[in-house]
Amino acid sequence: MYVHKNGIVYGDLKPENIVFRGNGHVVLVDFGSSKGFCHKGDCAASSHPWVLEGTTDYWAPEYRENADWNGGVATTTLPPSPAADVFAFGCLAFELFVGHPPRILDGLHASTKKLNSKVRIELPPEDLTLIPAAARGLVEHCLKREPVDRLGGTKGDFKEVLDHPFLSDIDTTLPPNVQRGNSMRGAEEKWVRRRMSILFSPMPSPYTSQDEQSILEETEVEHNSLWFPKSIAQKAK
């Protein structure tokens, strides 16, 4: 909301661009895809194309449908819009609950990269059941195909997103209670601390250190999450 109030579209909202400060507050990083947007006067399409950046899995449908591809670079004459950030927020929220971004079918022709159909956003019932009922409306309304139908409308007013019942009782001025795992030593030297995580799914890929494969010790909350194998959880205890 602060970014939008200053006339900037963030343009690349995804898990990799969200970090935690020491006090537990969330911070956005990597403003390389950010653009100023028209929040006063005529915001019609421009005759001067600009390069669409960011990550395609989180692109709003209106940009997918109006992208002109040339040599692997996409440009558009649509003005940058905060409503695209709201859509990306919906993708992020969906991913946090389900474990992967929503499937967006854009009908791109393999050779010309031109659309041959309208963008469709697939929200299978088996995925929606993983989202708490209180949050389902928030996710679905952020992922509407048409900007006018999304929370915040064409202006991408994030206050409307934060006013949703699922988020409205969160006091963003107070440091959150961040749980941290405990280091395990002795016989379990391969266990290392993973201090914070915003993704409960999928399990991060194992990594290698000094020719030994390590696994990650999770907080108790993550031990009880869907993807964490019971055998590992019991071993951690």
3-state class (DSSP) for residue 77: coil
- One-character DSSP codes across 87-146: HHHHHHHHHHHHSSPPEEE--B-TTT--BSS--EEE--HHHHTTS-HHHHHHHHHHT-SS
Q: What is the mean pLDDT of residues 86-102?
A: 94
C-beta of residue 235 within 8 angstroms of C-beta of residue 190:
no
At residue 110, does pLDDT exceed 80? Answer: no
CA–CA gap between residue 13 and residue 204 (Å, rounded): 20
* Residue bearing the bigger pLDDT, 74 or 42: 74
Most confidently modeled of 15-24, 33-42, 141-150, 221-230? 141-150
What pLDDT was estimated at residue 108? Answer: 58
What pLDDT was estimated at residue 171? Answer: 79
Is the peptide bond preceding residue 176 cis, with omega within 30 degrees of 0? Answer: no
CA–CA gap between residue 88 and residue 94 (Å, rounded): 10
Q: pLDDT tens digits for 125-168? A: 999 999 999 999 999 999 999 999 999 988 878 889 989 999 98
Backbone angles phi, psi at 210, to 5 degrees: 55, 50
C-beta of residue 86 within 8 angstroms of C-beta of residue 52:
no
3-state class (DSSP) for residue 56: helix
What pLDDT was estimated at residue 205? Answer: 45
What percent of the chain clears pLDDT 70, i.e. is strictly above it?
A: 65
C-beta of residue 75 within 8 angstroms of C-beta of residue 145:
no
What pLDDT was estimated at residue 115? Answer: 56
* Residue bearing the bigger pLDDT, 98 or 48: 98
What pLDDT was estimated at residue 22? Answer: 77
13 to each of 44, 129, 219, how far by Cα in Å? 24, 24, 25
C-beta of residue 93 within 8 angstroms of C-beta of residue 132:
no
Q: pLDDT tens digits for 158-193? A: 889 989 999 988 877 776 666 665 544 444 444 444
| Strand pairing report for 191-193 and 207-209 | unpaired
C-beta of residue 76 within 8 angstroms of C-beta of residue 52:
yes
Tell me the two tokens of residue 64: 């997918």
Place of tokens 């391969």: 190
* Most distant pair of Cα atoms in the chain: their distance: 66
Predicted TM-score of the model (pTM): 0.69
| b/e code 121-147 from CB counts within 10 Å (16+ = b) | beeeeebeeebeeebbebbbbbbbbeb
In the chain, what are the domains?
2-162 (1.10.510.10), 186-236 (no CATH)
* Residue bearing the bigger pLDDT, 219 or 121: 121
